Structures are given as C-alpha cells and as structure tokens.
Structure 1
C-alpha cells in the first residue's frame, strides 16, 4: 500500500523514466542494426514499433499532472507494451521451436506493400526463417527473450501505476 502511494506521487517521473528507457532500447536496436550489421526480421520491426508507441504514450503521459490524462495515456502505453510482449513471446517461441520448413519469406515492408493488412499481419506472426535465427545473445537470452522481459516489465510498471492512480482517485473522491 505504501508502495502504491509512493508510486502515485512519482507518476510523472515513472512515466518519464519508462519513456527514456524505451528510447535507450531503440538506440541500442539501431546500434545492433547499423553498428553490428544485424538485420531485423519482421517481428523485430513490429517490436520496435511497439517500443516506439510505449515511448510516445508514456512520454505524453508525463507532460501533465492530471490523473485522468496520465491514466488515459498510460492505458495506451500498457496496450502497446502488451502487444510488444505478445510479439516478443511469439518470436521466442519460434526460436525455441522452429518450424520444420523455415523459409525466409518476404521482408516486413514487402508484406505491407503487397498485401492488405488483414493478410500481412498473420504472415508476420507466422514468422519466417529469419525470425527464428538467433544472431545475438546476452546472458543466454536472445534479443526476443530480452525484449519480452522489457515489455513485461513495462506492463507491470504501468499496471501498478494505473492501480496507484485509481486508488488515489477513489480516495480523493471519497473524502
């Protein structure tokens, strides 16, 4: 209970720290791509977009003090973090249990340009040969594994912040 009260009092800082962490992760992804020459697969690109959405929504949420403002943008950030976690979990699953026939398939932009979104999204989540490749590891985990840990952490932080803000709102209205 004390933790939630403290979290509600520091909501702008928590949101700003979340946005800054996302920006740092995007910069690290750019380093992996441009510095080390690792090409992102379609699922990696979707995770980058989810990370960018978390950064934007939590950054906007940190701009104002209003609880309604922070809660609305935090919910949007939570949805983006959950979507990113789902994508990273799916890619991790494909890396652990690769399909028997792994084809490289189309690149992300080729799928989006040549197919309607209703066909392109299932193709992205089906994965391809390059989505199952593990090109880089840290402490035994692939990029997808660490991405899942990060997105799950953002989800936990944003959920705790929302609970803290809701409790604070209910206490203010009850007084």
Structure 2
C-alpha cells in the first residue's frame, strides 16, 4: 500500500465530509451574495447550477452530523452534472468572447481572483466531486 493510501485510510470520514460541507456552503453563500447583495442577475445556466449546489449543503451537513460517508451515492450525480454545466458555461464565456448568451450574465459581470462566476462554480463543483471521490476511495 502506498504512503498516500495509508494516510487516506487513517483519516476520519468527518474531514472530507466537513470539507464538502464547507465548499458547498461557501458556494451557496457566495451565489446568494452575488445576486442578493450585489444585485447581479443570474442567467438560466446559473440557476441550474444553483439548483444542483444548494441541496449539497444539506446533504453534506446531514452526512457530517450522522457520520455517513455513503453520501457519495447521493452527491456524485449532483456534483458531476454541476461540474459539466459549469464547464459548459465557462466554455460559452470563452468561446463567446466574454458572453454566454443566456440572459442575465450575457457578459462577464465580475471577476474574483481572475475567475468569472461560471469559473468559480466550476471550481466549487470540481472540489465537491473530488471530496466525493475521496470518500469513495476510503474504506470509511
């Protein structure tokens, strides 16, 4: 067994569950701040990504409290689809010269650390998917 797998086996399932909860919570809070706090209008693709991210806060949170690492079967379809949507949305902005042509965010409205809103969503979904894959590898 490699050293990294031995370290993975020694970890408690709470750490990846907490990481997934924090990422989903930060993404949800961030999207709410962008629309409610800054008044940015989300486009249709943004709404679909929100629909896939928001439940992950509850799903991961409950799994964390109940120490249920089997949550991967619930999270993986949502996070994988969210990753695909966010990647497509990011690609549309790149291919369209900063436009996604889906209503509200037809142009790049904001950049955070050089990333657009769809890019931030892609990072969040990729992190959640990585955490779920991490949970699936370990014998929790």
Q: TM-score range by the shorter chain?
A: 0.7 to 0.9
Aligned to 1:144: 118
Measured after TM superposition, the shift of residue 56 of structure 1 is 2.1
> Can you give the 5+ residue segments of structure 1 that lack an aligned partner in the other structure?
103-125, 169-175
- Local SS of the residue matching 2:39: coil
Q: Is the 8 A contact 2:20 2:60 kept in 1?
A: yes
Aligned to 1:84: 82
Q: How many residues align?
A: 135
Distance 1:146 1:53 in 2: 18
Higher relative contact order (Cα pairs below 8 Å, separated by 6+ residues): 2
- Higher share of residues assigned helix: 1
**Structure 1 residues 37 and 131: alpha-carbon distance in aligned structure 2, compared to 1, 3 A threshold:** closer
Describe how 1:8-157 pairs up with structure 2 within 5 A. Answer: 10-65=12-67, 69-71=68-70, 73-98=71-96, 128-157=102-131
Measured after TM superposition, the shift of residue 128 of structure 1 is 2.1
Q: TM-score normalised to the size of structure 2?
A: 0.83
Q: TM-score normalised to the size of structure 1?
A: 0.68
Measured after TM superposition, the shift of residue 79 of structure 1 is 1.6
